[in-house]
Amino acid sequence: GIQSRLCYFLVLFSLLVALLNKHKPWIETTYHGIVTENDDKVLLDPPLIALDKDAPLRYAGEICGFRIHGQNVPFAAVVLDKSTGEGVIRAKDKLDCELQKEHTFTIQAYDCGEGPDGGNMKKSHKATVHIQVNDMNEYSPVFKEKSYKATVIEGKKYDSVLKVEAVDADCSFQFSQICSYEIVTPDVPFTIDKDGNIKNTEKLNYSKERMYKLTVTAYDCGKNRASEDVLVKINIKPTCKPSWQGFNKRIEYEPGTGSLALFPSMHLETCEEPITSIQVSIMLETNHIGKGCDRDTYSEKSLHKLCGASAGTVELLPAPSNSANWTVGLPTDNGHDSDQVFEFNGTQAIKVPEGVVSTTLKEPFTISVWMRHGPGGREKETILCNSDKTEMNRHHYSLYVHNCRLVLLLRQEPTESENYKPAEFHWKLDQVCDKEWHHYVLNIEFPTVTLFVDGATFEPFLVTEDYPLHASKIETQLTIGACWQVTRPVALMTQYFRGNLTGLMIRSGKLENKKVIDCLYTCKEGLDVQLPEEVASAVKVEFNPNQSSLTLEGDDIESFEKVMQHISYLNSRQFPTPGIRHLRVTTTVKCFNEETCISVPDSEGYVMVLQPEEPKISLSGIDHFARGAAEFESTEGVTLFPELRIVSTITREARMIQQTVVSEEIMHNLDTCEVTVVGDELNGDHESLEVDLAQIQQRALEMSSSNVGMVITGVNTMANYEQVLHLIRYRNWHTEALFDRKFKLVCSELNGRYISNEFKVEVNVIHTANPMDHANNAMVQPQQPLLGFYHPKYQMLICVHPLFTVVPSAATVVIVVCVSFLVFMIILGVFRIRAAHQGTLRDQENGKENEMDWDDSALTITVNPMETYEDQHSSEEEGDEEEEESEDGEEEDDITSAESDSSEDEGGEQEDQQGSSRQQQLEWDDSTY
């Protein structure tokens, strides 16, 4: 029936399908492909297409896939269109030509079978696929050696000095070949060809250049440059010429590292000539540094103290300051590492004020000066002159230069005898006119005068005599750089000096000893040598006084070279003067055969003293506080710098991860600290700055003061300066109209070479006030006066009720009630201010700011004077809070909450009013209550 017929049709359908898929897919037998490394698309020739004769029947005539045969084949075949049989081959991963240039495998196509399930699927034959991986120029040339060296003889041209060679890791011929080499270093007498051969283009000269350093690079044929250039060193070997070899022309000296060997690998080339003796002179040129070499740049007065000179020395050419201002306006020779060098050009001179030096010098006495002077004219040039101030033109004593002579004029004061006495002492010196710095010291013990020039003694070649001066009551005038001359109808200066002066000192009552003179002249830098024991007796070594030159003598070359290798440069200054110090080595040799004896040329180089790491001197402490008026008026006064700290740091480069600089604290000396009044000068009638002179003298310091401040001088430690500055007090015994006083402190080192920050201190005066003078104090009983002070920040008077000046045990309840009332009033005031401020903000238009003023007409703030008032300034805006402990050690109550809260609302107004943010500290002092 129906079932039999259905089975019959199914059998017929199966037979029909079997008859439909009767052909296999067909593909080409061989394919050739190209793929670029780092790409996945393969270009095939011919294209990958599978054909099936069963087409266009569905399934049987369609291509369902391609199958690749082979091990670890990095490709996959994908059908793009089943009906057309089109497909592509793609790389599974990025290919690397350097690992494998070609790939070969087989591929097979298969159709979709009889139906969707792929039954009776038929496969094509296997076709061979050859794929070539194209190279990309991803590698750069690399040199086979890290560096190259060669040695050539001077005066000869070479076809090839040496050959450099680079390789390239790319797989293709084009990109793996080195097409050219290039010398990167400009202006060198060498060239290089495409094969890497370097040759010189001209004859080389050993005296001109002993070694050439060339930087060479390479390019592949894809124009990729070498990843790293290579260094080529070509040493020039001289034709044998006697000379010192192994001498570096530039020698760098790091400050603070002690001695530095100048010739560690130096040796003498004698060209096999037998030598009988050697003499070498080594000169270190330092004339261009400061006063002839690197010396401490403290003031001359401080240097005299450091060298052990006793008291009594007067400095006539001090650095300009408030206490010594007669050198202001005198030209200085800048650029000498803060040496206070004054320049006189023949038109300038200065008068020394009365009282600096006594009118009549007490014998014996000493005059010392640093002078640099060139060849002068025929006229006298005055260094120092003491002459009549009016009427007569008598010169009492003077020091001057005349025709390269140094002359001291010393007229005796009136005596009973009128005999001739020595009056002029003459020294003829080359140093006076050689344009170099020299140190002159004259020890005068009449009738003997001894001159020291750079520590060496000179006797006068000529002494002339004259009568003593006649008695007179005319005052004298001491001048520097010229002589005061009185001619009718005017007085003028004559005999002007041309040159440089510094360190002009007069010491009355005592002569300067040789030890101090040598200390003043001795350089802080020079040559040094530590002889090995085995050669100490073989070579004779002699130094000049300031160790800027030395002479060696010997006959054994080997021992001589060892001594040369132990010669060093030493600079003992903590902060030496940076710059160049030229070196010259002069050599003289003697041979057995005088006719053929060699000549050794001079060797020249220089020591480069590097810039020292400069210290940063920081002053810190309490910069704003208040004290009661009674303290200012007391005999002790108010201490200005009670918690002053002086710290000096240097910043060094640090080789650390994520950190390039590091600061560290160092210790060194100061030589000046100056306290200056900011604003009006001190009124000597009712105010002063005072300090315990005994404490200053105990620390070997000196103090000078004026109406503009106080200056403390002397070379001493930062700790001693701290202790002295802690003692400075300000007194004012007329404080009725005084609300604050401001002062500024600055410290320095090495005569102003390093200067600290300006540390400013403001002190406020706490006054007493009567409530009858203020309508705002209606709550206070008239018969009970208020104590208080004016607060400049909030422009209000802070008052204290006298009830709280007494604190018996019975008053505890009253205190609690009053404090509670105070807190309530502060909170009430804060809410009123905020409410008013918010209402004002709602009425503002176009962003305009309105001013807000305190309304204290109905508010009286009463404060317990036993507690500390602490003003927290604008730090609320930064989120910082500072807490201070009161002097009696108890915790302070925070009574500034109202001000702190309101400061946020009034921040803009306060900044406009104050101009800049600064921290203020107000402290109650209840010692007088």
Per-residue pLDDT of 72-123, as tens digits, reads 888 889 888 888 889 888 888 888 787 788 888 999 999 888 777 777 788 8
pLDDT confidence tier of residue 612, bands split at 50, 70 and 90? confident
* Sheet with 127-134, edge to edge strand ranges: 43-45, 30-36, 127-134, 102-111, 63-69
> Which tokens hold the place of 525?
């830098």
CA atoms of 607 and 279, how far apart (whole Å): 23
The token pair at 265 is 């690998």
What sections of 654-708 are H helices per DSSP?
Answer: 693-698
Q: Are residues 150 and 46 part of one domain? A: no
State whether 620 and 573 are in the same domain: no
Instruction: State mean pLDDT over 619-647.
Output: 91
Of 551, 580, 609, which marks where a domain is finished?
609
Decide: 547 and 527 in contact? Cβ < 8 Å.
yes
CA 307 to chain centre: 30
Using DSSP bridges, classify how beta strands 381-388 and 365-372 pair: parallel, antiparallel or unpaired.
unpaired
In a domain, 485, yes or no: yes
Among 263-267, 293-297, 315-319, 916-920, top mean pLDDT goes to: 263-267
In this structure, are residues 42 and 89 in contact, taking their beta carbons and an 8 Å threshold? yes
884 or 33, greater pLDDT: 33
Domain boundary among 237, 260, 281: 237
788 within 8 A of 794, measured Cβ to Cβ? no
Classify residue 802 by its DSSP letter: G
**Is residue 182 situated within a structural domain?**
yes
Dist. CA 274–CA 555, nearest whole Å: 11
Q: Tell me whether residue 838 is in a domain.
A: no
Of the two residues 615 and 38, the one the predictor is more confident about is: 615
Question: What is the C-alpha separation between 818 and 823, in angstroms, rounded?
Answer: 9
The answer to whether residue 379 sits within a structural domain is yes
pLDDT of residue 7: 66
Residue 910's contacts (CB-CB under 8 Å, 6 or more residues apart) are 793, 874, 903
| pLDDT confidence of residue 261 | 92
Which H/E stretch holds residue 827? helix 812-843
pLDDT of residue 411: 83
Q: pLDDT grade, residue 871 (50/70/90)?
A: very low
Q: What integer pLDDT is reported at residue 872 of this predicted model?
A: 38
Q: In this predicted structure, which of 111-115, 234-238, 848-852 has the lowest mean pLDDT?
A: 848-852
Residue 904 has pLDDT above 70, yes or no: no
Separation between Cα atoms, residue 303 and residue 284, nearest integer Å: 24
CB atoms within 10 A of CB 606: 17
Quick one: 181 and 89 in the same domain?
no
Q: What is the pLDDT of residues 335-387, one digit of tens each?
A: 444 567 888 988 888 888 888 887 667 778 889 999 999 887 778 999 999 88
925 band by pLDDT with thresholds 50, 70 and 90: very low
Please report the pLDDT score of residue 147 as a whole number.
92
Number of folded domains that form the chain: 5
pLDDT for residue 638 is more than 90:
yes
Which secondary-structure segment (H or E) carries 837? Answer: helix 812-843
pLDDT tens-digit readout, 741-762: 999 999 998 878 889 999 999 9
**385 occurs within a structural domain:** yes
Pair (341, 475) in one structural domain: yes
Classify 846 in phi/psi space as left (phi over 0), alpha (psi -120 to 50) or beta: left
815-841 tens-digit pLDDT: 666 677 777 778 877 766 766 555 544
- Supply the DSSP string of 464-526, one letter for each residue: EEEPPPPP----EEEEESSEEEEETTEEEEES--EEEEEEEEEEESSPPPHHHHHHHH--SEE
More confident call, 647 vs 854? 647
58 assigned to some structural domain: yes
332 domain residue, yes or no: yes
In a domain, 819, yes or no: no
Residue type, 261: A
In this structure, of 265-279, 477-491, 585-599, 885-899, the range with the lowest mean pLDDT score is: 885-899
Regarding whether 351 and 452 lie in a shared domain, the answer is: yes
With both helix axes pointing from N to C terminus, report the angle between 897-905 and 907-914 in degrees, rounded to the nearest 10: 90
pTM here?
0.53
Q: Are residues 754 and 679 in the same domain?
A: yes
Q: How confident is the model at residue 185 (pLDDT cuts 50, 70, 90)?
A: very high
Helices (H), 544-659: 557-565, 629-633
* Buried residues in 440-471 as b, exposed as e (16+ CB within 10 A): bbbbbeeeebbbbbbbeeeebeeeeeeebbee
Question: What is the CB-side half-sphere exposure of residue 33 using CA atoms within 13 A?
Answer: 29
346: Cα separation from own chain's centroid: 39
Same domain, 321 and 462: yes
- pLDDT above 80: residue 903: no
N- to C-terminal Cα separation, the chain: 134
309 lies in the same domain as 404: yes
Cis peptide before 414 (omega within 30 of 0): no
pLDDT at residue 763, rounded to an integer? 93
**Is there a single domain that holds both residue 482 and residue 545?**
no
Give dist(CA 178, CA 173) in Å, integer: 10
User: Which pair of structure tokens corresponds to residue 824?
Assistant: 């309530």
Q: What is the DSSP code string of 144-170?
A: SSSEEEEEEETT---S-SEE--EE---
Is 445 strand, coil or helix?
A: strand
Identity at 348, one-letter amino acid code: Q
For residues 450 and 367, state if they share a domain: yes
Highest mean pLDDT, choosing among 37-41, 223-227, 387-391: 223-227
Residue 651 domain boundaries: 616-766
DSSP state of 225: B
| Co-location of 193 and 324 in the same domain | no
State the CATH number of the domain containing residue 193: 2.60.40.60
* Tens-digit pLDDT profile for residues 422-443: 888 999 999 999 888 899 999 9
User: How high is the pLDDT of residue 574?
Assistant: 85
Task: Note whether 330 and 417 are same-domain residues.
Answer: yes
Q: What is the pLDDT of residue 396?
A: 86
Region of 54 on the Ramachandran plot (φ > 0 left; ψ -120 to 50 alpha; else beta): alpha
Query: Which CATH number do you get for residue 548?
Result: 2.60.40
Q: Choose one of 716, 738, 766: the last residue of a domain.
A: 766
